[in-house]
Amino acid sequence: MTSSIVVDAWLRRYRAVPSARLRLVCLPYAGGAANVFRLWHNSLPADVEVIAVQYPGRQDRLTELAVDEMGRMVDAITAALERLPARPTVLFGHSMGASVAYEVTRRLAAPPRLLVVSGHNAPHRALDKPVPATDGEVIEEVREVEGPHEALTDPDLQELVMPSLRADYRLIRGYLPNPEAVPVPVPIVAYFGLTDPTVRADAVRAWSELTAVRFELVSFPGGHFFIESDVDIVLTDLAGRLAA
């Protein structure tokens, strides 16, 4: 297994690139952790430094309380990124991570070169859905998107994973962005899976309303977790953008 380098309490790196031309910052989905992106550097240009965000309450931050409010999460991630040496940056976020990446983009003093949002409706078009009231409802939502719901039925794993997963649901369901938010001065590329039950074509396309530069919509054949089931073609597309 590829081991991580702790860059910051919030950031992990799986390959050192001392003279990197570009930094790719990856933000996981609800319930996800930095290691989702541990092998991505193998398929990307050698001069790209891949940094993965590690939310509290999971893996090596398991003993920390998970963050369940968007503003606090985004402020902490933005501060961590601004402590890094200055370098051209691309942000990639999947599902919940897409909205987190968008909000980080809004706050960074030096805007990223590109924002890639994946598997998520534009935040100002999100449906108003309640936070799951029970662990059973959480498991059912994970099952509907073909996530690892079987693991959540194991009592020992439930005890470890469920607190952070429920916090993630509170964060994303409680996130109410301004529907008239000023577009970011950054190009946006939106990825989505053609069989993803959580997205609507019009709502994914609405990310175009949140950029003042340019927008591109890219589809993949998989469902909600197409970044795992179709990772090779996802990374081929992403590598081309990072090499440009």
What CATH number corresponds to the domain at position 208? Answer: 3.40.50.1820
Q: Which residues, in sequence order, are CB contacts of 18 under 8 Å at separation 6+? A: none
Confidence band, pLDDT 50/70/90 cuts, at residue 182: confident
Would the pLDDT of 180 be above 70? no
Show the domain range for 184. 5-243
| Tally of CA atoms within 13 A in the half-sphere of 214 that contains its CB | 3
Would the pLDDT of 178 be above 70? no
Q: How many helices (H) and strands (E) does the chain have?
A: 7, 8
- The 10s digit of each residue's pLDDT in 184-202 is 999 999 999 999 999 999 9
Would the pLDDT of 1 be above 70? no
- Tell me the residue ranges of DSSP E strands in 63-187: 89-94, 114-118
Q: Name the domain count of the chain.
A: 1
- The 10s digit of each residue's pLDDT in 37-65 is 999 999 999 999 999 999 999 999 999 99
From the candidates 4, 95, 99, 118, which is the catalytic residue?
95
pLDDT at 204: 96
Provide the terminal-to-terminal Cα distance of the chain, rounded to the nearest Å.
Answer: 30
Mean pLDDT over each residue of the chain, to the nearest integer: 91
Would the pLDDT of 244 be above 90? no
Q: Which residues, in sequence order, are CB contacts of 73 under 8 Å at separation 6+? A: 55, 67, 100, 171
CB 45 within 8 A of CB 110: no
Task: Tell me whether residue 95 is one of the annotated catalytic residues.
Answer: yes
Would the pLDDT of 149 be above 60? no
Confidence band, pLDDT 50/70/90 cuts, at residue 179: low
pLDDT at 92: 98
pLDDT at 7: 83
pLDDT at 151: 61
Q: What is the pTM of this model?
A: 0.94
